[in-house]
Chains A and B, each alone.
Chain A
Amino acid sequence: MTLLPTTTVGSFPKPDYLVRARTLHARNQMSRDELAELERKATREVIALQEKLGLDILVDGEMYRGDMTAFFAEQLEGMGTSGLVRSYGNRYYRKPIVIGEIRRPRPMTVEWYKFAQGLTKKPVKGMLTGPYTMTDWSFNEHYPSRKDTIMAFAEVIREEAEDLQRAGAQYIQIDEPALSTRPDELPIAIEAMHRVTDGLTVKTISHMCYGDFPSIYPGLLQLPVDQLDLEAANNDYALLDLIKTHPFTKEIALGVLDSHDHRIESKDEVAAGIRRALTVLKPEQVTVDPDCGLKTRTWEEAEGKLAVLMAAVREVREELARPKTKVS
């Protein structure tokens, strides 16, 4: 494998026609089939964009998902949906509610994985939301404790991961953005991730963001996944100082683009960030990606940012290939 493989965190911006179609579908003015056809069209475009840019490990772009917890909650038994709850300002969402035993009647992501993988020879990641985050971002009216809820989610996510592996996925990403919100619960999150990943033969990844990493580092390294996908660009690579305090013992997917900023980074700043990271990480450990999903960017911004990422990675790869003296 090339050094410094490149990937993305999961979501891509939805094209305007898909945003409009989702609104129409929500108002019962467009059928499920018509919407699905547009979701497939958008997925083809996302795969084509990633191939054009030259990314190494692809994603399906999540054209068919709204929210990363609701997408799964809607397909699981034992789950309902609340009324509107505010997240910030004038933005509201319907928070999932655990109302009974959580069961998975059928695979939730496998068809989309197969569809996306069928469009490319490059590996496409299977994308799941982790048990800790599913719990933290749902109300619970059924299980007696948070731990019971977390372990119940772990069970169904495990089933889904096995199905993805069976379908041929080489990478499965289990996102846990909520992980750092209650540092005292890290052991439960780790136990749940064991239930999800133990015995899987695929490469496992977990993405987290907007977290208080100092509060869970180095304990976080006990999370049983091969690779941790972490943000660095939006906090000026503060993560690297943390890694200096305790060596990073896993692979890392290093976020070098601020996913929530309209500005397109320069090649020089992204390359400088990667070089900084390589002062505390071995090149073999590092995959390069944006800080977070790109769904809040415009299509043009996402493409522009990723093109810069690719250019910066190529520059650093060339430096690494040169005789030793050139690498700082």
Chain B
Amino acid sequence: MLRTTLVGSYPRVSDRSLPVNLRQMLHQHDRGEIKDIELEHAYQATIARVVKEQEEAGIDLLTDGQIRWDDLLTPLTRQLEGAHAGGLLRWFDNNVYYRHPVIEGPLRWRGPATVADYRVAAAAATRPVKAVLPGPITYASLAEDRFYRDFDRLALAVAGALHEEAQALAAAGAPWIQIDEPALGGRPAAVQLARTCLQTITKGVKTKFALATYFRPIDGIYPALRTFPVDALQIDVMDRPDQLDLVLQNPPPGDIVLGCVDARNTRLEERDRLARLLERAAEKLGADRLWASPNAGLEFLPHATAQHKMARLAEAVAAVNGKPAELEAR
């Protein structure tokens, strides 16, 4: 059976009226009009809503939507001794910003960054929830390193901290941990370092790991990626259709997550076209190790569009799983 998942982020606010208006509550909290505990409840209610919307759309492996996150890196930065969040920079080729980590001393993990929200999501869900962490190559690439002054040493130090985070997530019951490496495609020289880092992160941690790549092309490093010590590899085949051929010609040994819905454009994919692509991949790779997902986090889209796209993805997968004959007839 082909399954569906998301990459991570999900719209926190909506043009529709929602029971909890997180945007307004954050403003009220800034002005001191509501208490910390009220904001905390708003966050938790929003995570629960995001989980419910994924389940209703038919997503199999959920995320917490990264509802509390301002960007991929900052939650980890806050929990690292030796690092602080610096100024805003553009997040890859998106009109979106992130705070770049500034490294001032030896990195030490102070405690879990993502476990609390994993627990909130898991408690609200009837399906499994995947935890998501920034990859060490991406983190080190985007950091301002005033301490190690050595890319490899910084990346390995980040990997050490991520290992502790992964252990905490596994102890909390997370069945999957996804490591996001959007920068890796742009740093082919770091691919062996990335492998070493993943070995550090995953060593002895009893859960499944996925590696997510997006934004940058990975064709140059694909042969190395497919032998990485992970249980699943996520690849963008929407923005970069030629990467599907790479996977089909030389599949990785584990699970494959095809990013086949565009998380950065509002144009809605056609269900049948999506289903044909997935069917072709399933024939070649076997449906049981194949996943379909958007090609990046859905927070680049307005809420209503994100919901439509998620539903479209699930419909296409249902068509492949349930009605192969009908599709062939088209």
Q: Which residues of A contact B (CB under 8 A)?
A: 82-90, 92, 95, 97, 136-137, 139-141, 178, 181-182, 210
B40 to chain A, nearest CB (A): 16
**What is the CA–CA distance of A181 and B299 in the complex, to the nearest angstrom?**
19
**What is the CA–CA distance of A139 and B95 in the complex, to the nearest angstrom?**
11
- Contact of B173 with A by CB under 8 A: no
Contact A210 B266 (CB under 8 A): no
**What is the CA–CA distance of A70 and B314 in the complex, to the nearest angstrom?**
33
With an 8 Å Cβ cutoff, the count of chain B residues facing the other chain is: 30
Q: A84-B302, A85-B300, A178-B95 are in contact. Are A140 and B23 (CB under 8 A)?
A: no
Most chain A beta-carbon neighbours within 10 Å: one of B11, B70, B266, B299: B266
Residue of A nearest to B93 (CB): A181
Contact B305 A88 (CB under 8 A): no
Known pairs A84-B15, A92-B23. 5 more at Cβ < 8 A?
A: A88-B96, A90-B27, A137-B95, A139-B265, A141-B267
Contact B97 A87 (CB under 8 A): yes
Contact B96 A87 (CB under 8 A): yes
Contact B266 A97 (CB under 8 A): yes
Partner of A86, one of B27, B30, B96, B267: B96
B18 to chain A, nearest CB (A): 12
Contact B93 A210 (CB under 8 A): no
* Chain A residues near B70 (CB-CB < 8 A): 88-89
- Contact of B12 with A by CB under 8 A: yes
Nearest 9 Cβ contacts at the A-B interface: A83-B302, A83-B15, A88-B97, A141-B267, A139-B266, A181-B93, A90-B26, A82-B302, A137-B95
B2 to chain A, nearest CB (A): 27
- Contact of B90 with A by CB under 8 A: yes
B315 to chain A, nearest CB (A): 19
B276 to chain A, nearest CB (A): 19
- Contact of B120 with A by CB under 8 A: no
- Contact of B304 with A by CB under 8 A: yes
Q: A90-B27, A137-B95, A139-B266 are in contact. Are A210 and B89 (CB under 8 A)?
A: yes
* Chain B residues near A97 (CB-CB < 8 A): 266
Residues of chain B from 69 to 85 with CB closer than 8 A to chain A in the complex? 70-71
B38 to chain A, nearest CB (A): 15
* Chain B residues near A89 (CB-CB < 8 A): 70
- Contact of B13 with A by CB under 8 A: yes
- Contact of B246 with A by CB under 8 A: no
* Chain A residues near B93 (CB-CB < 8 A): 136, 181-182
**What is the CA–CA distance of A95 and B14 in the complex, to the nearest angstrom?**
14
Contact A90 B23 (CB under 8 A): yes
**What is the CA–CA distance of A84 and B301 in the complex, to the nearest angstrom?**
8
Q: Can you sample 27 A-B contacts with CB below 8 Å?
A: A82-B266, A82-B301, A82-B305, A83-B302, A83-B303, A83-B304, A83-B305, A84-B11, A84-B14, A84-B15, A85-B300, A86-B11, A86-B12, A86-B13, A88-B70, A88-B71, A88-B98, A89-B70, A90-B23, A90-B26, A95-B302, A136-B95, A139-B266, A141-B266, A141-B267, A181-B90, A182-B93
